[in-house]
């Protein structure tokens, strides 16, 4: 019997490989002391600002220069542990929106909650109040449900604890900012202090969350129920710079655009360029001319929401 054919790589995978090659070539050229400008190809769906990534510290016009040192120091570090969201793939599958309709949404698992040993099923219930910042007014409807809550007003852990106390099967937080993906943290240790969580918690993007809420409201008006299936499984992700898989014990850095890299890989890159290696979203630069050009693009509205991303990144 002939071996099954290997499916061809997707357009996204091919684009990612091209970006990785260009990044490695760029860094190798710098190590050789060369001065050049390369045009990084944009992956499908990436937000690009145009222009070349330059190594000569040129002024503006899309040319990159080293990222501002203090900004680089302030970037969030992620220590990869066995329960880290980086090593998991979280999928929220929704059914019941119409005749045979089904929608799968990629979510981000909260590392302070326990990953489920099996799929979690339940009707989707909207939290009242939406941010779950106080006792739930619809607690009678929450038991056994997948509770949907908005980000804001109170901590992620306190929302999760209220959902847990009300008997929810899982809690899903809707991101209210444009930063995505976003990793929920419990920096105060509230989950453990509150007796621990027995339910998985994850986050969905602002766009997907609003769509889910609208579907739940519409279905309720039609006498239907949206049901959710939450699954968390092991997943392999790699660093686009070195193309090695993330592993327990690694230290990663997350940029405002949401892309992750090994700390050592990204720090080396940011000494050369103030852009994300993958999508070219700009960071503040130590080069005055480049920084003026970046701020000018922001003022003209050409940064694709970058200013909002920076303003809310450390919330």
242 falls within a domain: no
Assess whether 65 and 90 both reside in one domain.
no
Q: Are strands 53-54 and 77-79 parallel, antiparallel or unpaired?
A: unpaired
Domain boundary among 211, 234, 257: 234
Per-residue pLDDT, 141: 92
Q: Look at residue 230 in the predicted model and tell me its pLDDT.
A: 87
pLDDT of residue 142: 92
Please tell me whether residues 94 and 166 are part of one structural domain. yes
Please give the model's pTM, rounded to 2 decimal places. 0.59
**Token couple for 242:** 């070195």
Dist. CA 158–CA 152, nearest whole Å: 11
For every one of its 315 residues, what pLDDT tens digit does the chain have, with 9 covering 90 and above? 455 454 555 444 454 555 555 555 555 554 554 444 444 444 333 333 333 344 333 333 445 588 888 888 888 887 787 767 677 778 888 887 554 467 888 888 888 888 777 888 899 999 999 999 999 999 889 999 999 999 998 999 999 999 999 999 999 999 998 877 787 888 888 888 867 788 989 899 998 999 889 888 988 888 888 888 888 777 777 888 888 888 888 888 888 777 888 998 888 888 888 888 887 788 888 888 888 887 887 777 644 444 444 444 333
78 phi, psi to nearest 5 deg = -120, 120
Both tokens of 19, joined, read: 């970006």
Query: Which residue, of 204, 234, 264, is where some domain finishes?
Result: 234
* Structural domain contains residue 2: no
Domain limit, last residue, from 186, 201, 234: 234
Name beta bridge partners: 125: 147
**Residue 124 lies in domain:** 85-234
- Per-residue confidence (pLDDT) for residue 298, from 0 to 100: 74
Could you tell me if 55 and 106 lie in one domain? no
- On whether residue 243 sits in a domain, the answer given is no
């Amino acid at each position: 019997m002939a071996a099954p054919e290997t499916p061809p790589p997707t357009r996204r995978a091919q684009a990612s490989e091209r970006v990785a090659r260009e990044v490695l070539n760029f860094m190798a050229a710098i190590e050789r002391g060369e001065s050049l400008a390369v045009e990084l190809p944009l992956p499908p769906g990436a937000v690009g600002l145009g222009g070349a990534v330059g190594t000569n510290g040129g002024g503006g016009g899309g040319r990159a220069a080293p990222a501002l040192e203090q900004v680089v120091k302030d970037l969030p570090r992620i220590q990869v542990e066995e329960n880290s969201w980086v090593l998991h793939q979280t999928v929220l599958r929704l059914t019941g929106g119409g005749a045979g309709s089904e929608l799968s949404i990629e979510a981000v698992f909260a590392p302070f909650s326990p990953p489920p040993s099996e799929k979690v099923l339940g009707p989707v219930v909207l939290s009242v109040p939406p941010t779950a910042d106080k006792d739930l007014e619809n607690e009678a409807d929450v038991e056994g449900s997948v509770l949907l809550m908005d980000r804001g007003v109170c901590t992620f852990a306190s929302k999760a604890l209220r959902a847990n106390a009300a008997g929810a099967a899982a809690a899903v937080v809707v991101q209210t900012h444009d930063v995505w993906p976003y990793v929920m943290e419990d920096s105060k240790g509230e989950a453990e202090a509150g007796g621990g969580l027995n339910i998985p918690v994850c986050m969905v993007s602002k766009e997907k969350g609003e769509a889910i809420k609208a579907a739940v409201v519409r279905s309720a008006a039609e006498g239907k129920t949206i049901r959710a299936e939450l699954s968390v499984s092991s997943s392999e992700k790699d660093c686009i710079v070195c193309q090695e898989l993330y592993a327990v014990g690694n230290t990663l850095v997350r940029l405002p655009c949401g892309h992750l890299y090994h700390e050592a890989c990204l720090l080396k890159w940011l000494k050369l360029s103030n852009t994300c290696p993958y999508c070219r979203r700009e960071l503040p630069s130590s080069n005055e001319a480049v920084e003026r050009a970046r701020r000018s693009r922001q003022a003209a509205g050409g940064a694709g929401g970058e200013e909002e991303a920076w303003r809310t990144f450390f919330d």
